[in-house]
Amino acid sequence: MREATSEEKATSPDDEFHLPGLSTLRDAVQNASRKVPPRNKLQQDGIAGLTTAVSSLPDGMANGLLAGVNPIYGLYACIAGPVVGGLLSSSQVMMITATSASAIMAGQTMSTLPAEERSQVFFLLVVLIGVFQAVMGLLGMGRLTRFVSFSVMTGFLTGISVLLVMSQLPTATGYEAEGSNKIVQTFNLLRNITEVHLPSTAMAVSTILLAIILQKTPLKKFFALIAIAIPSLIVFIAGLEGVKVVQDVGDITGGFPSPVVPPFSSISIDIITGALAVAIVILIQGAGVSQNVPNKNGGSPSTSRDFIAQGAANIASGFFQGLPVGGSLGTTAVNVLARAQTRWSVIFSGLAMTLIVVVFLGIVAHTIMPSLGAMLILAGIRSIKLSDIVSTWNSGWKSWPSLLAGGVTFGATLILPIPTAVGIGVLLSAFLFVTRSSTEITLVELRKREDGKIEEHKPPKTLKGNQVTVLNVYGNLFFAGAKTFERLLPKPGDIENPVVVLRLRGRTHLGATLVSVLADYSSLLKDVNGKLYLTGVSDQVYREVENSHKLRINGPVKAFKVKPELGLSTHHAVVDAEAWLLEDEAEPARQ
């Protein structure tokens, strides 16, 4: 492919409209049009797609029930989400499909509407969710997920994985556990372990054993499908009673979803705010899933591009009568477990679901639930990243807020609704960011050696008279960080004529708090006939110093603009300061 000319680059759409996500979308479209992968990878992706489609059947229908709509809408989401999301997503094996969190939140948003209006307005909600997500992606807002800390994301994803395992224990054992949340239900199951349905439990255990053993045989490409199919055949042939099958989840009928036009005239403030809330929760959860499944080709995923992909998938799902979709940790884990290689595994999953819904829904309806539950349990266990947990634990002893934030997020995910847990995680990330930004401030003294090289030393606690002290500061100096910096500055003490040269290279803005700190410090220097020099300042900072009434009246502050050569503005300041000290010493002699 030829390189773009300078004229083409100068008139690119991104430069014209200043939307960082446009290049992301263009890359996604170009990537989707590339040639298909080699035959061996394509074959494995087809198997993985079929596996995830079959495993998504009960969850898809259950999510429809959670949202308070027809269960078939959950299956329609498992068609539109993977096909559209798989084409555009930068996270190649991340499954964009119906999730319980999005289904619950969407159902809560619709709960105030009459039942007869709920279905049509529901699809409007899904389309609006997609629009919000696509706009956020086009604006490049994926970068905001960088502010969600690693420890918080690890706690959230680990909690989701544990929830996935616990949620499938009743399915795998055939026991209807009671309780307000998954933890209570799991304890209820353990207390009544003798009441589990033995045939169901035996089929679930058989599925897990088959999945583990088959991965070490020549049939490893088909292990997931075989592990699900054999127990289902045994139940069907032997006529085992009490073992639930897919059709027991809800009444389902075949047929390709007909496109619908949502009633845009029904848009209201409640629908808009509800759609925005669901969109944000889906995107944060999807960012965590993307982080958990690196691309096979080593490429780095783009969060903004994934925003666009999930937005487009939701728009398509809304127009084809589907639930809200997003990055699903459980289904993605099954996709990885089935040895998915490329994005085609996700696309094939949607195509396989289409085939199932249109042609084979009657056959798949006899797949036993314990096998599907067992496969999800295995996927949930394998999605727990022990290395990430150990890393968080080890860093936590040195930085207890990280350990606390990860632990609280993990606990909140297990006990509270997913949206609430996500909100707590975001707040904790913000707390960690502010805490670290305000405490991780380093101040050093710069000293010039005889050979001309600069060394960093621990700054003095008190300044020396008639001497220039050059300081450099590392860290964020906004808000609380500026106050931490103030405590680190060396104090004048009982001396005269101290000079402080403070290097501020790379800082584009001072801010009101730092201006106040510098004004107070310059006032202390002024009281002992000292001076404060600011070097390496940008044009914006220079204007702030010039226009700051506080800095002008509190003390002698002089600013030197940044130069291309490193250290040049600081050198000029030191020369100026030394000349001033010599003049000050010579003044009494002239008098």
Domains and CATH numbers, the chain: 39-384 (no CATH), 442-590 (3.30.750.24)
pLDDT of residue 395: 63
Token representation of residue 439? 């405490």
Q: Please give the Cα distance from 481 to 438 (Å, whole number).
A: 4
Distance of CA 25 to the CA centre of its chain: 19
Q: Residues of 496-513 as b/e, b for ≥16 C-beta within 10 angstroms?
A: ebbbbbbbbbebeebeeb
Report the C-alpha gap between 58 and 75 in whole angstroms. Answer: 9
Per-residue model confidence (pLDDT) at position 16: 38
> Which amino acid makes up residue 487?
R
Query: Could you tell me what percentage of the chain is helix, strand and coil, using 3-state DSSP and rounding each to the nearest 5?
Result: 65, 10, 25
C-alpha span between 329 and 158 (Å, rounded): 10
- Find residue 564's DSSP bridge partners: none
- Residue 8 is predicted with a pLDDT of 39
327 strand-pairing partners: 96
Residue-wise pLDDT for 121-180, tens only, equals 889 999 999 999 999 999 888 777 766 777 787 888 788 788 878 888 998 999 988 888
Q: What was the pLDDT predicted at 571?
A: 93
Q: Is 2 left (phi over 0), alpha (psi -120 to 50) or beta?
A: beta
pLDDT tens, N- to C-terminus, the chain (591 residues): 344 443 334 433 333 334 555 555 555 555 554 555 677 788 899 999 998 988 887 778 777 766 767 778 888 999 999 999 999 998 888 999 988 778 877 877 776 677 667 777 889 999 999 999 999 999 888 777 766 777 787 888 788 788 878 888 998 999 988 888 888 999 999 999 999 999 999 999 999 999 899 988 888 777 777 888 899 899 989 888 889 887 776 666 667 788 888 888 888 888 888 888 788 878 888 887 887 777 877 677 788 899 999 999 999 999 998 999 999 888 888 888 888 888 999 999 999 999 988 887 777 778 888 888 888 788 778 878 787 777 767 765 456 677 778 888 888 888 887 767 777 887 887 777 777 666 678 999 999 888 888 999 999 999 999 999 999 999 888 777 788 899 999 999 889 999 999 999 989 888 888 888 999 999 999 999 999 999 999 999 988 888 887 777 667 788 999 999 888 999 999 999 999 998 866 655 555
pLDDT given for residue 11 in this prediction: 38
Q: What is the pLDDT of residue 350?
A: 94
Give residue 1's pLDDT: 37
Cβ atoms of 325 and 313 within 8 Å: the answer is yes
pTM of the model: 0.62
pLDDT tens for residues 495-548?
Answer: 999 999 999 998 988 888 888 899 999 999 999 999 999 999 999 998 888 888
In a 13 Å sphere around the CA of 260, the CA atoms on its Cβ side amount to: 20
532 three-class SS: strand
DSSP label at residue 37: P
Query: What per-residue confidence (pLDDT) applies to 18?
Result: 45
pLDDT of residue 30: 55
What is the structure's pLDDT at 171? 87
- Looking at residue 257, its pLDDT comes to 81
Cβ atoms of 37 and 344 within 8 Å: the answer is yes
CA dist 265 and 268 (Å) reads 9
Q: Residue 147 has what pLDDT? A: 66
- Torsion over CA: 389, 373, 88, 39 (sign): positive
Answer whether 138's CB lies under 8 Å from 21's CB. Answer: yes
Q: Which tokens go with 525?
A: 């220097």
pLDDT computed for residue 328 by the predictor: 87
294-327 burial, b if ≥16 CB within 10 A, otherwise e? ebeeeeebbbbbbbbbbbbbbbbbbbbbbbbbbb
